[in-house]
Structure 1
Amino acid sequence: MSAEPQNSSGAQVYRRLLGYVRPYLGAFFLAIVGMVLFAATEAAFARIIQPLFDDGFVKKDPGVLQWIPLVIIGIFALRIVGSFLSDYCMAFVARSVIRDLRKQLFGQLLRLPVSFYETSSSGALLSKMVYDVEQLAEASSSVITVLIRDTLTIIALLLMLLYYSTWLTLILIAVTPVLVGLVVYVSKRFRKLSHRIQKSMGNVSTVSEEVIEANREIRIFGGQDYETRHFNEINDHNRRQFLRMAVTNALSSPVIQFIVAIAFALMIFFAFRLELQVGEFGSYLTAMLLLMQHAKRLTTVNATLQRGIAAAQSVFEFLDREAEVDDGHLELAQVRGEIEYRHLDFRYDAQGETVLRDVSLRIEPGQNVAFVGRSGAGKTTLVSLLPRFYDPVAGQILLDGHDIRELSLKNLRSHMALVSQHVTLFNDTIAHNIAYGALESATEEDIRRAAQAAHALEFIEKLPRGMQTVVGENGVLLSGGQRQRLAIARAILKDAPILILDEATSALDTESERFIQSALEELMQNRTTLVIAHRLSTIEKADVIVVMDKGRIVETGSHAELLARGGHYAALHRMQFSEA
């Protein structure tokens, strides 16, 4: 798969979409049977008009007047069966395809690298999962039904028209190139507008999501007027795109139908000159009117088809993005926690600025190593390379002597626990948030012990449902300190040999921080711990402090050694404590 997918033609995209139908060919075949049955009943109804007029009304044959009503009832009964088979089976196929696509999209969300999310809007991604996929549902059910069923019906009716009069039917066929040219032009415009609409819908989702997440900041900083103006601009743009689609649709269908009507008018004119019998003309006229009805439906479905193709292009472009590189096959049952960075260089994109330059560092098993430096020094980036959230452009990282690229991502990350400054909780119970993912098999007693070690049990037991309390989206029902303690409990429960702490006590009050610091010190015993520190007071007891500046390691040593050296660390220390 390529990182930058190429746009495919509409036919290629639709062929790929139809590939998802393959597992449901049985239902699709039944739908086709229903469509053929439906088309046959349309032609049969037009055909029966001739004996009804000639033998029934003109010759007054009583036998004909007895059996024709029964035949008409039979035709419409078969039509109902055909219509049900085609509609239900196509709906079954379509919803099954959409389910499979959503599963693929969700799986892709879990496989894409961290760098993708840092450059993508969550609103646009949600729009793909919801809006684009629903456009595909239309394109893969109602559109296919209309295209196949109405095309089969038109073919059946055309054959009947040819049977009655070749010359009259050739007039109808003569306008086909004009219609095809018009449909091709309109299709291109529909698809162009559909792409704009999808982008516009993504913008609407993004702005709405930002307003929901930042509702407190908006109120405090008086951003309501700005956000209202911003949303109105995007909303109006969205409206304009839909109106352009509506104008194109409103003009194209009547023009196509007008051209067809001219052809039908000419056919009727010549039908009188050919002196057709009353019954023949009645059947011919009925077939023409039915054909016009189905032709009209074919023209109106084009907008939905093009929206579906544009949506499919968007979805397939996402599915074709390059996933995280996971070609390691080594599975380590346990690790000691020896980490070595060797001559690392890193940049976030090929043309971007180098963030880390020739970084080398060895961390012994069980060592507590803190990374400090000014904002943008590269400390978070360096630590993020260990679980392979990113890969270096040069150099290597060794875990117990093995290049981490030799390990599968699942195995590599199973040896690590993370407590981030930005806590992520799921809209689930406290118990499930602590025993998350691979920890879901943990016993209730294990969860309680982890919560107690993180000093979270004291507030959990005060909640109405205790461990079964649902925390809300991203833990909105909890305080910042409570969320942080749950994240620490999750790391304690995982009991991994390598611990990554990104300012893990930043959201705690002074009293809680004292308890948590004590719990973390106990947790860090016999574990390799990497601490990303902003407040130097939290890492004074670290075995080694690594000082970074402009992507390089400029100093290493203990707190006392670095202060005595009077270098970068001492300057940072003076600056922080003078501000305090």
Structure 2
Amino acid sequence: MTTSTKSTGGNNLRPFLKLLKETKPPYGLLALAVTLSVISTLVSLVIPMFTKGLVDGFSLASVSRLQIAGIAGAFIAQTAAAGISVYLLNYAGQKMVAGLRERLWRKLLLLPISYYNDIRTGESVSRMTSDTGIIKTLVSEHAASLFTGIISIVGSISVLFYLNWKMTLVLFTVLPLSALVLVPLGRMMYKISKGMQDETASFTAVLSGVLSEIRLVKASGAERREYESGKNVITNLLSYGIREGKVSAWITPLVSLVFMMLLVVIIGYGGVQVSSGALTAGELVAFILYLIQIIMPLTQLTTFFTQIQKSMGASERIMETLKHEEEKYEGEEMADGARLPITLENVSFGYKTGASVLNKVSCSITPGEVTAIVGPSGGGKTTLFSLLERFYEPQEGVIRLGGKLISDFSLRSWRGGIGYVSQESPLLAGTIADNPRYGLEREVDLAEIRQAAAMAYADTFIDELPDGYDTEVGERGVKLSGGQRQRIAIARALLRDPKILMLDEATSSLDSKSEAVVQKALSNLMKGRTTIVIAHRLSTVVNADQILFMEKGEITGRGRHEELLREHSLYREFAQQQLQTADTESREHVEGEEITGHGQNTGGGRRPAHPRVGGRIFES
């Protein structure tokens, strides 16, 4: 279980402002949208004064057509300004979030594998969708309310002081009291909203993890366990939702109560003022309308500050992702790697501090030959592969190609020169034709794909499919068998034309018939290439040019099969156990399942095949 990243930055506006600045928002559009909102607000401040004149005896008979046209024009201008402002703010918000998502998506693709060891996939998805959406909502729906709300409140209060400063002071006796209650509630809402965001990210992570491996869940009978796990997260979300509802249940009635209190005070005190002649009826009506223009923006500002608190939390998490160091893609182009030796010099590596997986590993891989890496599980074989692919950097020691450090080569050039065929051979959702050319920058036509498929012995089963190369393989290739996926993976490697070939026990999970076909395909792939293979079964590597025996992060033996049988006791023990198993299995299988050509020496001077494993992939 990987750890979840929680935001710990606290109530800090800097990450949010920095993120907005780096996103390069369309300042011109934002300025225009805010200006239009301000114009709309200023126009709305005139309306109560016009109403005051009507109430105080300003008759419609005295209104000229020009005045009516002016008032109608003002209403139309206000409506148009408000509408255009909303559209421009939404447009600017969408542009900003698109730019932010593009930047975040690029970052996620360029982050090293080590980042994904600690971060669950669902959390990265939540950064891309939920957190960026919160920032978009702030910009497109709430940003203008900050400016217009302040203008409306300041403008209304200024007019109220002009109309009757005594009644305005009465108004201010109520507002501070309400602030004493609403401000703490706003802080509570921020904490709840932040917790809700973290739990939503965790829920997304659980969903992504379980649904992406739903077959494993069902095969393991783990539905109940995963249901309980998901139910716990849902319960936590429910808890936050209920707490949010409780705070909202206080805020909404309190805002209404404050408004009603103000209204009662204004009407009661204002009525006394009207009856004494200190205030006209029109001024009282204007006072009430301006009061509304104070209360409504205050509610909007409360929403704005709640949203900006959410955006601050989202920004912290996004900035945490953006500040992670990317893989370094710069460097020189790799030369012909098939003609240069790969050398490891005292390489040490550990995933965690103080826990070494590889300990001062040194070896040389001869170009154009087959080097097999064998040994007990947990010995560091897969980690060594990861270092060769530059998913991680050695903590000590160096890896060279020829005389140059492999870190001197650009990542694109280095990985472009490696063909990797794993035991699982994952495929991407899409057609069969899409998968072999995946990752290639050059155009690949169907004729090339067909040729690669033929060399990988995949053309036969593809041609038998109703849609041929247009057949959908399903998520991770689930619509194809293991042997079919392996052959498509080999076709992909053939199209890449790699200089260095890395095989991670590419046939161990296949049945005998599929294994035979895949072995022949691998023989085509290995010709003229430096081949490194992880083997869990010694029977598949007895003809390798060099065998490296790894245990507990160290190479304890190296040489050919016969040399290690004589000189390495643990290898000899492995060989006796596994080759005896191979004998038993060969007697149980029909003779026709074995690959023909046992014992043939087609390797140009190489030794004859081992009698138990003739025709294996390491027999050239």
Counterpart code for 1:545: I
- Pick which of 522-531 and 483-492 moved more: 522-531
Is 2:147 aligned against 1:145? no
Is 2:279 aligned against 1:276? yes
Post-superposition CA distance 1:209-257 (Å, at most 9, x none):
3432343343344333333222222211111112212222331343345
Partner Cα separation in structure 1 for residue 98 and residue 227 of structure 2: 36
Is 2:450 aligned against 1:448? yes
Structure 1 residues 478 and 178 mapped into 2: Cα distance closer, same or farther (>3 Å)?
farther
RCO higher in 1 or 2 (8 Å CA, sep ≥ 6)? 1
**TM-score, normalised with respect to structure 1:** 0.92
Partner Cα separation in structure 2 for residue 116 and residue 263 of structure 1: 55
Q: Which residue in the other structure is 1:225 paired with?
A: 224
Q: Which residue in the other structure is 2:130 paired with?
A: 131
- Pick which of 104-113 and 433-442 moved more: 433-442
> RMSD of aligned C-alpha atoms?
2.5
The CA deviation at 1:183 is 5.3
Counterpart code for 1:576: Q
Counterpart code for 1:459: F
Partner Cα separation in structure 1 for residue 16 and residue 170 of structure 2: 32
The CA deviation at 1:99 is 0.7
| Stretches of structure 2 lacking an aligned partner (at least 5 in a row) | 583-620
Partner Cα separation in structure 1 for residue 331 and residue 441 of structure 2: 23
Is 2:555 aligned against 1:574? no
- Pick which of 176-185 and 71-80 moved more: 176-185
SS in structure 1 of the partner of residue 221 of structure 2: coil
Q: Which residue in the other structure is 2:351 paired with?
A: 348
- Pick which of 186-195 and 380-389 moved more: 186-195
> Does the CA contact (< 8 Å) of 2:23 and 2:100 recur in 1?
no
Give the counterpart of 1:388 among 378, 387, 390: 390
Q: Which residue in the other structure is 2:302 paired with?
A: 299
Give the counterpart of 2:54 among 52, 57, 64: 52
Counterpart code for 2:291: M
Counterpart code for 1:204: F
The CA deviation at 1:70 is 4.2
Q: Which residue in the other structure is 1:490 paired with?
A: 492
**How many pairs align?**
573
SS in structure 1 of the partner of residue 26 of structure 2: helix
Partner Cα separation in structure 2 for residue 210 and residue 413 of structure 1: 28
**TM-score, normalised with respect to structure 2:** 0.86
Q: Which residue in the other structure is 1:516 paired with?
A: 518
SS in structure 1 of the partner of residue 435 of structure 2: helix
Is 2:108 aligned against 1:109? yes
Q: Which residue in the other structure is 2:604 paired with?
A: none
The CA deviation at 1:384 is 1.2
Structure 1 residues 171 and 82 mapped into 2: Cα distance closer, same or farther (>3 Å)?
farther
Q: Which residue in the other structure is 1:371 paired with?
A: 373
Partner Cα separation in structure 1 for residue 7 and residue 230 of structure 2: 30
Q: Which residue in the other structure is 1:475 paired with?
A: 477
- Pick which of 384-393 and 248-257 moved more: 248-257
The CA deviation at 1:550 is 0.4
- Pick which of 503-512 and 298-307 moved more: 298-307
Give the counterpart of 1:530 among 511, 532, 549: 532
Is 2:407 aligned against 1:405? yes
- Pick which of 312-321 and 383-392 moved more: 312-321
> Does the CA contact (< 8 Å) of 2:97 and 2:132 recur in 1?
yes
The CA deviation at 1:44 is 1.4
| Stretches of structure 1 lacking an aligned partner (at least 5 in a row) | none
Partner Cα separation in structure 1 for residue 267 and residue 88 of structure 2: 38
Q: Which residue in the other structure is 2:331 paired with?
A: 329
- Pick which of 477-486 and 224-233 moved more: 224-233
Partner Cα separation in structure 2 for residue 518 and residue 369 of structure 1: 18
Counterpart code for 2:512: T
Partner Cα separation in structure 2 for residue 337 and residue 260 of structure 1: 81
Counterpart code for 2:93: A
Counterpart code for 2:299: K
Partner Cα separation in structure 1 for residue 484 and residue 218 of structure 2: 24
Post-superposition CA distance 1:355-401 (Å, at most 9, x none):
11111111121121111111110011112111210111111000121
- Pick which of 231-240 and 512-521 moved more: 512-521
SS in structure 1 of the partner of residue 440 of structure 2: helix
Give the share of equivalent positions with the same residue, in percent: 33
Residue correspondence of structure 1 range 161-200 to structure 2 within 5 A: 161-173=160-172, 184-200=183-199
Structure 1 residues 443 and 222 mapped into 2: Cα distance closer, same or farther (>3 Å)?
closer
Q: Which residue in the other structure is 2:320 paired with?
A: 317
> Does the CA contact (< 8 Å) of 1:13 and 1:309 recur in 2?
yes
Counterpart code for 2:250: L
Q: Which residue in the other structure is 1:286 paired with?
A: 289
Q: Which residue in the other structure is 2:586 paired with?
A: none
